[in-house]
Structure 1
């Protein structure tokens, strides 16, 4: 009977067309991002977030091996949908084909369309084959190399000026080319081996052993083995860890607030994962392993790496000089003598672990986390009103307890932690499928002003879990196959001062989105978002050295239409705008864009033309742009002008794929772009990128 049903679905022409729409590993990433992120912001590390999306694409989840935690980590399935998929597998046995997803209760074509790129029905790994032979025969192996640059000359690449004292002004020491390379060979649930190399524009390509500079400025590597006896994971090199709700270990794909108002509020326990991004911070370097004993996983990690830092010399009571860290540099840039002087000035050592329990029926999970961090020099920050309770000293330790419980179509989760300072943090949340058409989520969080977590990434309004209390509520309503609506409201309070906010403050944020999808080829949505936050307001006489606060209120709106013209052509039209009210003044901004995309056999071409006009920086418009694989572009359009780009992809054969991209911004309200060493004389900025990927054993 089951095979008859499967054959029936296989023969459905509409579903066959759906399955053929995607090439493995290629989706409309732009639409996926639009749902996860309400509004792009400059303080987010989008490269690391998108890196995790692409890791999921390259390592699709095996439907026959995935547990509920794996399925929830995709941020696509609601609690009742996860339960339905697992129940289907338990009732009918292993999935034979992806076509069988349409037989899962409550799964429609729209949901399956979103899910397909991230899942597979895999084959069992033949472990009797020697390891190195599996490595040599792996079909998932590739090398990527990329060159990019800005064509206009920035001030940092011009000859230096001579100052009145005879000294020369600072300039970049390297060339304007950015170079990037990545090699990776992997087999899902078996092994992963790879490295990443990177040189930013302005950095020297130099071999200097005395200063530990070996050509590329950044080098990352890893070797990960999975399912070796009772060891779930064994890792050597660079890695991240995500367990609990991110109060201690919060690396990985954690989008937070966006148009997807339900599934993104919870952090998934995915354990150790290789670090493959080019960001030069927020990862561990060393060894880590997870050992499974019955229903309990034991994870231990040890890490030691150097960090870029600004050191100061202080004199103690015995009049002896000692160095201290005033700040750590996270830009990863080493272009000028000053930036190079920060390189590897501090060292950081970490020792930590996790104990994770999951009940036999997989409805309950609990665990504890601990992390001990030691720096080579003590932290002594430059004193400011707002940073009095930030971390100071040379050592920190943080410990947490987390729980999760699945009751029918409702999932409860939470974590509480305490750091060495005595500051605490807590997250408590709920995801609930109230009805097949209605879902609800809620998250309460509280982070003390002296709660110190260096690798935390919990659900919060701030970029770090510190100095915040808040309550979030989200709804998602799916009226039918075509119409859906989502909404969230978030209230937050900051008990202590913040940067540019020199008093305790409160705020709120809400977002509403209506989406209409009459067919697979048409997607129309409208979205409105309001955010209200306080910031400093100078006294009226402009002479007082204290600050008053005023509430800044920003509205953002988006109307978007995606349309597939035919099997080769598609288009995207968008109107977006904003207004910002602060200190009894209102400023505005808008952008309109038109995309045209072509997908024909070996060719893929994407293009866009956009116009923008904003009154000030607070109304800058963020437009996600398509780029070459592993590179992401979200320009902040500010001022008046236009921007366009053309991206081409061509598959030379089974093994070689090439990309080329040309993008230009032309401003009509200025003759100088940027400041400092990044300044460009003129009103246009042009970026070019060329990338090639070679896939082995294809």
Structure 2
């Protein structure tokens, strides 16, 4: 059955009973875990998650839905959107969610999920009065055991305290005007930098309307066009989750409400609608972190690296903060005629340095440039049971990259997706964010095949395989290479809020193996993971989740494995004013190569995806209390205990002892 993607995050922000949330948590955890396993911080890639939370707080009448709104609901496939719009057209007004049961493959769980974002009944013909609404969220996260960096009194240690402080404020006037800001201070950072400026502050002002000038954003924003080969600063779902997520949709500009310090633009963006045409322009000017050197003989400034961690905890990290100015100017024009969508665009970007150099071997063929120009052509066409889409992108040197894909539904119970990509060895874009294996995909080609089937009423099977090839060196792989990634999942619905699934994942790639000399040997590694997960509704108030996962890592000369198991108990009061989640887990994992990631329930707008290795246990307690309609409080305490360690971490992050404990406190006020 169709599960929606981000219910764990919505768990603490919308009035949904705990059983349904846990029942829909599977795909959520897979996506977040997939991002973490591939070195992508979910907190730096969370804009779509934030969008869903905000959409749930402003449900709209189902009889007024359009395709643009539905495409923002990532849990709906393109074919389900088609079926829903067709049903609304034929049977409007829809007065009850139970009418949606007549739509093919709309399960009760999917209908409940959709109902979080819509209302039912005759649309109101009276113009709604606009009111000013505001909400503020304040969070503090800290570790009980202080790492070494906080115990050093001189300038070689961390400059700030061990608290991670986050605040977010949003003002909205009706559905047209909004503004907000985000402040974030990482552990070890000072609240204000050496120039008395906030450590990180992001903000925006936004105007929307149905007129010709229909969208303006001033401040921080995101821009995504085509399939992300040229520019996409939003969320990349990767290959996990649903097979239909390989197609990027709902392109355009969006306000930034994320705490990410890297993946956004800063300036002004606007969108104009004229009949079937939409013209979008964007201008950005922002400073980013860079390690730079200045040659006094040639009077040239060179960047040697562009760190993206966002950390400014030490004097060295603080010295590189905002040292490089990055300016971007771009435009996109799109044309919509019935089921056909065409778009074309370009952007130019430059920095205020003379060159960007890198000593990394895999970047020598295609080094970063201090200025670049990328252009793209994209298309999307849907008709009944198929959708074709793609993008052709070109950089300033004339090198090409393209993606073409098709979504098919040959029968009502079988859906497939196919995608092929091919990127020139000399193609590059600083904002590339597409369905690729590598985050620097120059020289990559690959083919993705996915299938979803409903062979029985309560059984869903979903699988994909992605085969890829690199015609040039990659990070940690000093030769051209190839590999594959596959996934198979079978899920059976035991009852409305109870299910069981088996998930198998396998990946095979080449990587460097270091030796005692400065040279590397290359060998292929194979990583397999298998998981069994059951979620069971014990009563109206109690839900239990249990999981066992195994990992197997193999090379020609090395083998390792790991085991992780946990039980998760969830409780909520009938009035939903109080809820809590408790987990106890154990792990026995040989080394880093066979590590296992596990998504945890957490605070609103916060993620926890710890990776496990060595031996020990993990425990956490998460509570939420809704004091009234204005105030909500969260608290989380978590501890990891290692049975085979006397010291945790390394460098300034070293902790003496075998436990790591952290606390999270959060307050949200709505007016």
**Segment drifting more, 485-494 vs 382-391:** 382-391
Alpha-carbon distance change, 284 to 54 in structure 1, aligned in 2, over 3 angstroms = closer
Structure 1: distance between partners of 2:539 and 2:602? 23
- Counterpart position of 2:37: 41
Partner of 1:247: 229
Of the three residues 344, 347, 352, the one matched with 2:330 is 352
The answer to whether the aligner puts 1:192 opposite 2:178 as a matched pair is: yes
Tell me: higher relative CO, structure 1 or 2? Use CA pairs within 8 A at least 6 residues apart.
2
Q: Give the aligned partner of residue 9 of structure 2.
A: none
Kindly indicate whether the alpha-carbon contact (under 8 Å) linking 2:179 and 2:204 is maintained by their aligned counterparts in 1. yes
| Offset, 1:416 | 0.7
**Correspondence for 1:232:** 214
Q: Does the aligned pair in 2 maintain the 1:196–1:219 contact within 8 Å?
A: yes
Superposed CA RMSD in Å reads 2.3
Secondary structure class of the residue paired with 1:206: coil
Name 2:202's counterpart in structure 1: 220
The alignment partner of 2:261 has SS state of: coil
Q: How does 1:262-341 map to 2 (within 5 A)?
A: 263-314=244-295, 319-341=297-319
Structure 2 equivalent of residue 165 of structure 1: none
Say if 1:560 and 1:573, in contact at 8 Å, map to a contact too: yes
- Larger mean CA deviation between 319-328 and 468-477 belongs to 319-328
Structure 1 unpaired stretches of 5+: 1-19, 161-167
* Matches of 2:555 and 2:79, distance apart in 1: 43
Show the counterpart of 2:375: 399
- How far apart are residue 186 of structure 1 and its match? 3.3
| Structural mapping, 1:98-177, within 5 Å | 98-121=97-120, 134-136=130-132, 138=133, 141-160=134-153, 170-177=156-163
1:384 corresponds to: 360
TM-score using structure 1 length: 0.89
Q: Does residue 1:590 correspond to 2:582, yes or no?
A: no
What is the rounded CA distance, in whole Å, between the counterparts of 1:35 and 1:114 in structure 2?
A: 18
1:659 aligns with 2:634: yes
Q: Tell me by how many angstroms 1:528 deviates.
A: 0.6
2:82 is paired with a residue whose SS is: helix
Between stretches 403-412 and 392-401, larger displacement belongs to 392-401
Q: 1:283 to 1:51 in 2, by over 3 A?
A: closer
Q: What CA distance in whole angstroms lies between the structure 2 residues aligned with 1:462 and 1:207?
A: 34
Deviations, residues 183-223 of structure 1 (Å, cap 9, x unaligned): 11336852332110111111112375xx2x33x41101111
Q: Does the Cα contact within 8 Å between 1:135 and 1:185 map onto a contact in 2? A: no
2:419 equivalent to 1:446: no
CA separation of 1:309/1:207 partners in 2, compared to 1, >3 Å: closer, same or farther?
A: closer
Q: Is the 8 A contact 1:429 1:441 kept in 2?
A: yes
CA distance in 2, matches of 1:112, 1:188: 27
Q: Residue 489 of structure 2: SS of its match in structure 1?
A: strand
Matched, 1:556 2:529: yes
2:435 alignment partner, SS class? coil
What is the match of residue 572 of structure 2? 599
CA contact (8 A) 1:37 1:257 kept: no
Residue matched to 1:78: 77
Does structure 1 conserve the Cα–Cα contact (< 8 Å) formed by 2:33 and 2:609?
A: no
Shift of 1:259: 4.1
Specify the SS of the correspondent of 1:463: coil
Partner deviation per Cα, 1:622-653 (whole Å, 9 max, x = no partner): 11001111111000111111110001111111
The C-alpha deviation readout for 1:364-412, integer Å capped at 9, x for no partner, is: 0000121110101133323332111334432101000000110211000
The answer (yes or no) to whether the contact 2:358–2:367 under 8 Å persists in 1 is: no
Choose which of 591, 604, 623 in structure 2 pairs with 1:629.
Answer: 604
CA contact (8 A) 2:104 2:412 kept: no
Corresponding residue for residue 6 of structure 2: none
Task: Decide whether aligned partners of structure 1 residues 189 and 403 sit closer, same or farther in structure 2, where only a CA change above 3 A counts.
Answer: farther
Question: What is aligned with 1:258?
Answer: 240
C-alpha contact 2:33 2:598 (8 A) present in aligned 1: no
- SS of aligned partner of 1:88: helix
CA contact (8 A) 2:32 2:599 kept: no
Larger C-alpha radius of gyration, 1 or 2? 1
1:643 pairs, out of 604, 618, 621, with: 618
